[in-house]
Structure 1
Amino acid sequence: MRPQKIDDQKLLEALTHTFRLRGYEGASLKDLSEATGLKKASLYHRFPKGKQEMAETVLKHMEAWVAQHVFQALQQPDTPAEIRLTEALSHIRTLYNNGHDNCIFKAFSMQEASDLFEPLINSGLKDWLDGFTAFGQSAGFPPAKARDMALATLIAIQGSLILSKGLNNTLIFENTLKDIYIKYLKE
């Protein structure tokens, strides 16, 4: 068996970057091939269902990454809330390249992709809400307030990514993360 030209991690990073940049519809097989350094036939060998399978793999990988880094940081029971939140926000900075990268949900929530990936997107968004709701409750907020804060957090992060990209100003994203920190720990 021949060695793979690109390891799985690098492959996922290249696919993720391309989908974030171009969206699902805009990312052609040529784009994905160029980004990964693999010929189209090699991509189909790794992903027999084609571009849809590549996108599903990216979404599942991102879901696992967020669970491992963001949610795990939020849910360390023996760690003070301030440290948990600081660590989770640091991972969110990494996830979005300090506000330079689009959210992967955006890439897969337009046109045809919306129908194809709706269950995965809904599940991912629910996980974000549940993760921040659980954190809010562990930080001392009543359940309804914790859920409201989780929803506001998700809206703030997503909105700041759109504005940071649209206005070419990542300070919007950074200030949003600072505001989230203040709201959870100073209210």
Structure 2
Amino acid sequence: MRIAKVSDQEILNGLMSVFRAKGYDGASLNELAEATGLKKASLYHRFPGGKKEMTAAVLDFMESWINTKVYKVLSDDKIVPTQRLHEALVNIKAVYNNGKEVCLYRSLSMDTGMALFGEKIEKGINQWLKSFSIIGMALNLDEVVAMQMAKQTFIEVQGSLVLSKAMDSTEPFLHAMKQIETRYTNT
């Protein structure tokens, strides 16, 4: 019997779930293999650089996702700003499973993960901030205020994810998302 192939998307999602839950240091090769549906040998075949290469691939995937689902959406001046904001927030809710998932950047910003991937994490966060700054300016905020609001948005999303995890409830995250949309649309 032939073994079913596992898609790149499935592999990246599996890897991301483990890195989100365990961080870089806590993620074992057994857990990574199990989450991807691959044997360790097959995982090493796809990622000869081991866990470091797997993590880099997941961060590249997240960067691409932010670029497509947040940055491009918030920057698309063919769509009215409030609709851009709404669509980006819907995408953010989806990537965090309405607050049930933790942030990959947060999980990897501990211990070895930050030492190895600090530049990639910083790049992703800066891309996020730039995106929300753009929508702030599209909603007639000056550049400085738009960046301050972008930073506050990032803080609220991250803080609400931590609170949602601690309370075992998606309510803090979903409430924060509503507050963010309200704050931007009432500027």
Q: Same fold (TM over 0.5)?
A: yes
CA distance in 2, matches of 1:158, 1:7: 30
Tell me how far apart the structure 1 counterparts of residues 154 and 100 of structure 2 sit (CA, whole Å). Answer: 17
Contact (CA 8 Å) 1:5, 1:38: kept in 2 or not?
A: no
Please give the residue correspondences for 1:115-134 in structure 2 after superposition, counting only pairs within 5 Å: 115-134=115-134
Give the conservation status (yes or no) of the 8 Å contact 1:160–1:172.
yes
Residue 90 of structure 1 aligns to which amino acid in structure 2? V
- Mapped contact 2:25–2:113 kept (Cα < 8 A): yes
2:164 paired residue number: 164
Matched residue, 1:58: 58
SS of aligned partner of 2:161? helix
Residues of 2 paired with 1:33 and 1:5: CA distance?
14
In the alignment, structure 2 segments of 5+ residues that lack a partner are none
> 4+ residue runs of structure 1 moved beyond 3 angstroms?
none
Identity among equivalent positions (%) equals: 42
Maintained 8 Å contact 2:70/2:128: no
The TM-score normalised by the length of structure 1 is 0.96
- Aligned 8 A contact 2:19 2:107 in 1: yes
What is the 5 A alignment of 1:24-173?
24-173=24-173
Q: 2:22 maps to which residue?
A: 22
Per-residue deviation at 1:3? 8.2
Rounded to whole Å, the distance in 1 between the matches of 2:5 and 2:106 is 29
Equivalences, count: 186
What is the CA–CA distance in structure 2 between the aligned matches of 1:70 and 1:126, rounded to whole Å? 12
Distance in 1 separating the partners of 2:110 and 2:94:
24
For 1:156, the aligned partner's letter is E
